[in-house]
Structure 1
């Protein structure tokens, strides 16, 4: 004789603070991608940029038979100048992005007051593209438009594709890019300080192109591209810059 058993019911999950149930099991919520490490990406980008100009300058001067001291000074000047330009450029770009975001946000807030029906229609149009229809669409639009800040946040993100900038990004990005660039710029110059004139160019080229390949691979990985492709691209850019500087110096010399 079999006794019927009733399946044990799991207790209902408690809702979270936002009214949603706990996240079901699955992949980690925060995926550990290299691309998520923005400061590291800036270090890689700054270092890759910082290698090219000092190497091109020192290689051109060494090819013309310039003495080691002027070659070293020119390489250091190129590294410092490139770092300052990169840092200031990054800071200005971050400042401009923040100013644009604030301008667009003020405009969206004004339009939500002056033209609420038009703004609601735009919310509905965005949700419609994602397959929301009928009563669910109307409820979603009213839920979003019921809170002014949430309404404007939605329009900034999904209509204008703008995210609120980090207030400290300008200074942080300038420091990271500039520091990485000037430190990387020392690598092509270092062989001229420790090696003889005949061997310095070879050691500088070997160190520079090895670093370029490594940085190019890391940068490609951060963008979900094949590392070998990134390494080859970085080597091609560095090689073209060195050849261009060499040809210019040879022509003028």
Structure 2
């Protein structure tokens, strides 16, 4: 290897769709458990038509509600970031020495002294926007939210909820006896959770996707079982 020559190394792959996966998990998990519990509670009446009608109504309403919830959560995140940035701009303008000290404190746990940090601080001070962006990310641990993601998040969560809700409801469409359909619905829900958990872990680079799949199936089954038990008691 020639001295002074830079050697290019392949970058390790990193999954960049974590936010989408998070939204899919939120929507799919609720979509699988809530409609399942409702359908299971109504299955005791042994009327598959009633289960399908009520289940579809719940899925549509739930998908809209979950989507709106994701949208409002995104708006709140944007508002929080904007408010914190206004405050940080004010501090940089009015108490710059304190902000410089905070930069040194950020690096102190890593064994980097203030003397080493000072040249970087001098560079940051030359551009107020860059300085504020640095403080937002490394002092407050806030990433600038993508304003376009509010609608993407809403659609992802709502669609995932709808798809998840269809899974436990389908057996009631093809099986006339509601009680028999309930057992198939429970199995389909758990299997879907397992498959999704496996692929979710694999996409995010997990070394143990099977463990993640079992975990998601267990948690989902526990949630669905609890919801079913409460529905039966009511």
TM-score where L is the length of structure 1 = 0.80
Shift of residue 100, structure 1, vs aligned partner = 0.7
Q: Which structure's CA Rg is the greater one?
A: 1
Rounded Cα–Cα distance in structure 1 between residues aligned with 2:107 and 2:222: 48
CA 241–74 in structure 1, closer or farther in 2 if over 3 Å, else same: farther
Q: 1:84 aligns with which of 64, 76, 80?
A: 64
Match of 1:114 in 2: 94
1:68 CA displacement: 1.1
Aligned with residue 8 of structure 2, among 7, 14, 25: 25
Q: 1:24 to 1:80 in 2, by over 3 A?
A: farther
Q: Are 1:55 and 2:36 an aligned pair?
A: yes
In 2, Cα distance between equivalents of 1:100 and 1:118: 23
Equivalent in the alignment of 1:216: 197
The number of residues matched between the two structures is 231
Partner of 1:177: 157
Q: Which residue of 1 aligns with 2:184?
A: 203
Is the Cα contact below 8 Å between 2:21 and 2:200 reproduced in 1? no
Shift of 1:149: 0.8
Q: What corresponds to 2:212 in structure 1?
A: 230
1:240 equivalent to 2:225? Answer: no
Separation of aligned partners in 2, 1:234 and 1:113? 48
Could you list the per-position Cα deviations for residues 138-185 of structure 1 after superposition, in whole angstroms to 9, with x for gaps in the alignment? 211111112101110111011100010001111110011101111221
**Does 138-147 or 163-172 show the bigger shift?**
138-147
Between the aligned partners of 2:25 and 2:229, the Cα distance in structure 1 is 28
Unaligned 5+ segments in structure 1 are: 1-7, 13-22
Q: Structure 2 matches for 1:34-183, cutoff 5 A?
A: 36-62=17-43, 64-133=44-113, 135-183=115-163
CA distance in 1, matches of 2:77, 2:205: 22
TM-score, normalised to structure 2, is 0.86
Contact 1:45/1:219 (<8 A) preserved: no
Structure 2 residues without counterparts, runs of 5 or longer? none
Distance in 2 separating the partners of 1:127 and 1:146: 20
